[in-house]
Chain A
Amino acid sequence: MATLLQPEKVLYLVRGEKKIRVPLSQLYFCRYCSELRSLECVSHEVDSHFCPSCLENMPSAEAKLKKNRCANCFDCPCCMHTLSTRATNIPAPLPDDPTKTTMKKAYYLACGFCRWTSRDVGMADKSVASGGWQEPENPHTQRINKLIEYYQQLAQREKLERDRKKLARRRPFMPQAFSTHVVLQRQRSGAPISALYGLSLKEGEDQKEITIESAQALDEVEPLPEDYYTRPVNLPEVTTLRQRLLQPDFQPAGASQLHPRHKHLLMKRSLRCRKCEHNLSKPEFNPTSIKFKIQLVAVSYIPEVRIMSIPNLRHLKESQVLLTLTNPVENITHVSLYTCEEGDPDDINSTAKVLVPSKELVLAGKDAAAEYDELAEPQGFQDDPDVVAFRKSNKIGFFIKVIPQREEGDVTVAFKLRHDFRNLAAPIRPTEEGEATSEAIWLTHHVELSLGPLAT
């Protein structure tokens, strides 16, 4: 029976760029456009960063500076688990009196999962619990920065040229800028700067030229050491590809050079409707909170259809299926169902004919207190017993008749659900006196149910 409650049994159609059929629990409802939205038709944005192990929020400026890594937590380079700081007592000489020794605390990092410790790579124990551990620096940083400066200078020149000669014919300047500019390692007398299309440094620009050495090519490459052919491989000492790629700057081949890295942050996402640019979902700032500041999910606005029981379905025989309809809003909702017409472009999956109740169904509003009220007062709705099976606070059960048209395969039916929607927080409009605060809009959704295989 629980299989009937699976969300994939009832799909709602979303008319975005593509037509997507998704359960209602995975959809959002834009209250301003009055349309359903799925994850594909909203734009995702990064809202806030936090560390997954210490659950500390990090402002985005700091995150950018720290390269999206937490300042306090480390990852084990072998197994990617979070490292914990352990302390030992070591004897250390007192600063005042070198002869006497006292116990000092020394901290080191250790992995609880694979038993890796920071002492394995030769990192000395630190005397402060946190903040003492440094990541090694890339040896090529200086050279790369110089290269960037040099190219930036070339780029500036090109931009100046471009700005000046806006109407002239174009040529990409950068490559040609190389030929007149770069001081090659060969004996080529540095071409005079004025050769660069008459560009002269005006406007008090800096006269300082940044030239860099071109890289020197090597004649010989180091060969493999001789014992490579005969030395047995110590597999635990050789790093796996995954371990290497976690440290793109160094990619060490030996496990004794694997340094731990700071832990990478996670982020919280906020969603925004593409059409009206309103936020559909905005999480709380606090990493430990699972609530949302804005949560426009579809299940809190659209009545939800669920399958309650399915009889044996036989080919070309009419059977009654019991469905439930739940009203998520607090006011009374009127729902009418329509069958899909012939040649409906949305109706591509149905393999059975369906007869839906023709009368309008009325759903009571959701009353939070009603679940504690044991004596449910009669709600005073006149229900047709052929259509409505039961009624309980904001939920009703009703029958539809299904006639499977195919002999084999799953039975799928589709119908249209039309309900009224009161936009309680409509965009601010000047309300005239005496007018109802909100008007009802009628929304129509295309719903598909998959009722399972035919009974044999």
Chain B
Amino acid sequence: MPLFEGLGSGGEKTAVIVDLGAAYTKCGFAGETGPRFIIPSEIKRAGSPEAVRVVQYNINTEELYSILKEFVHLLYFRHLLVNPRDRRVVIVESVLCPSHFRETLSRVFFKHFEVPSVLFAPSHLMSVMTLGIQSALVMDCGYTETLIYEGVPILSAWEALPMGGKAIHSVCGITMLVFSSALVDSIPEDVVEDIKVRTCFVSDLQRGMKIQEARFNLDGSAERPAPPPDVEYPLDGQKILHVKGSIRDSVAEMLFEQDNEEKSIATLLLDTLVKCPIDTRKVLSENLVIIGGTSMLPGFLHRLLSEIRSLVEKPKYRDALATKSFRIHSPPAKPNCTAWLGGAIFGALQDILGSRSVSRDYYSETGRIPDWCCLSAPLPDSVYEAGKMPPPLMKRAFSTEK
């Protein structure tokens, strides 16, 4: 212990940890208990009145490069206040991130900011690091999608559903326009987000089922349970947006409604369990971890657990899954910062951080970031661990779109 004590005892400077999410970016330093800043992932440009989203996968490389460059510039010089050249970088990101985005991001960091090294860490793996357990089933309910992933060290079953905060915002916005009396044509998205955060919640299972039935009105007699009280939301300091109570509890229902393919967030979890090898199922079902900003809605966790427990009785799952016990972990951070915290814990391990990152020299020699499924390049021994994880047994599960 005394030999290796002390992080700041003249050793390397602490690494910078960045979690680039679709809606919000968490940035801070390694070894700290929380991110320094959680800022929206967008930049304001002189040309357009609306902010430009940073995490976009469909735009061309040049545009993405300049947007990312501006955003990372803001991160370093307005929020973190450090020199980019001095500190290693750990980027916590989703595995579904296209290679093109990852490569542009690494080009921004290496060529423009000249950081010493970059490590791309999968967000789900990092969240497990905050718990000190071996494996877990991690569900990330974020802005654009909900993604399930499995623990260390196997990436075998993953599932994703394009249903997240963004979907809630659009449903919420539309229903509010229809139902409420407002004098505006359209409500900007950040207002919708604010209304969602402050007034909406997730009802428990019985109530939720009744709301869903009333909406689809299958037998014509289902009655909607009494809605919560309405809210008067001031808009722009002049107008008042009347948010009907029925909106407050019904918008979150769409996360749990089963659409035509009978998929909802809860079935996502169960489907993943079915895909896993049988002997791991019990361990995984008792180690559930839920991260992501959307899961911070009041009542979300309770509802999710009840949904899973009720769905497991359905014929589809009853035979497939023998395990019936589900347990949820509570990581030592808020769900939207859990992945960041894992990255910070990993970034504090200075001994191995260097060997596992892609260094600037390696990048300038080869010009690429080794991807987690890239088995082809004959890497020299010293940079073998530059990949994020051991090469998985199965090939890449999705296609890269440019």
Interface residue tally on B, bucketed by range: 35 or more
Question: B329 is contacted by which of A40, A138, A156, A215 (Cβ under 8 Å)?
Answer: A215
Which positions 149-202 of chain A face chain B at CB distance < 8 Å?
Answer: 150-152, 155-156, 158-159, 162, 166-167, 170-172, 174-175, 178-179, 182, 184
Beta-carbon nearest neighbor of A213 in chain B? B132
Asked if residues B328 and A230 are in contact (CB atoms below 8 Å), the reply is no
Segment of A41-49, A103-111, A365-373, A399-407 in the binding face? A41-49
Asked if residues A158 and B77 are in contact (CB atoms below 8 Å), the reply is no
Asked if residues B34 and A229 are in contact (CB atoms below 8 Å), the reply is no
Q: Contact string, B280-314, partner A, CB cutoff 8 A, digits 1/0? A: 00000011100000001011011001000000000
A149 to chain B, nearest CB (A): 9
Question: A147 is contacted by which of B198, B225, B345, B352 (Cβ under 8 Å)?
Answer: B345
Segment of A79-87, A126-134, A231-239 in the binding face? A231-239
Q: Is B152 in the interface zone, CB < 8 Å from A?
A: yes
Contacts from B to A (Cβ < 8 Å): 1-4, 24, 26, 31, 33-39, 73, 77, 79-83, 85, 112-114, 129-134, 152-153, 193-194, 197-199, 201-204, 207, 225-226, 228-229, 231-234, 249, 286-288, 296, 298-299, 301-302, 305, 325, 327-334, 336-337, 341, 345-346, 348-349, 351-352, 355, 381, 384-385, 389-390
Chain B residues, Cβ within 8 Å of A53: none
**Given A215-B329, A229-B207: A248 in contact with B34 (beta carbons within 8 A):** yes
11 more contacts with CB within 8 A, not counting A152-B348, A175-B153, A230-B226, are A68-B80, A140-B332, A150-B132, A182-B133, A206-B2, A222-B302, A228-B299, A229-B207, A230-B229, A265-B81, A267-B77
Beta-carbon nearest neighbor of A234 in chain B? B231
B290 to chain A, nearest CB (A): 10
Asked if residues B194 and A240 are in contact (CB atoms below 8 Å), the reply is yes
A91 to chain B, nearest CB (A): 40
Beta-carbon nearest neighbor of A227 in chain B? B228
We find that the number of chain A residues with CB closer than 8 angstroms to chain B is 73
B279 to chain A, nearest CB (A): 14
Nearest first, the 7 A-B pairs at minimum CB distance are A217-B327, A140-B332, A175-B153, A215-B131, A249-B34, A224-B299, A155-B349
B168 to chain A, nearest CB (A): 13
Q: Is A100 in the interface zone, CB < 8 Å from B?
A: no
Q: Is A63 in the interface zone, CB < 8 Å from B?
A: yes
Q: Is A392 in the interface zone, CB < 8 Å from B?
A: no
B302 to chain A, nearest CB (A): 5
Asked if residues A229 and B203 are in contact (CB atoms below 8 Å), the reply is yes
Please, how many angstroms separate the alpha-carbon atoms of A259 and B37 in the complex? 16
Q: Is A221 in the interface zone, CB < 8 Å from B?
A: yes
Contacts from A to B (Cβ < 8 Å): 40, 43-46, 49, 63, 67-68, 138, 140-141, 143-144, 147-148, 150-152, 155-156, 158-159, 162, 166-167, 170-172, 174-175, 178-179, 182, 184, 205-206, 208, 212-224, 228-233, 235, 238-242, 244-245, 248-249, 251, 253, 264-265, 267, 269
Please, how many angstroms separate the alpha-carbon atoms of A448 and B282 in the complex? 70
- Chain B CB within 10 A, most for which of A45, A232, A245, A265: A245
Asked if residues A224 and B201 are in contact (CB atoms below 8 Å), the reply is yes
Asked if residues A148 and B328 are in contact (CB atoms below 8 Å), the reply is no
Please, how many angstroms separate the alpha-carbon atoms of A230 and B226 in the complex? 9
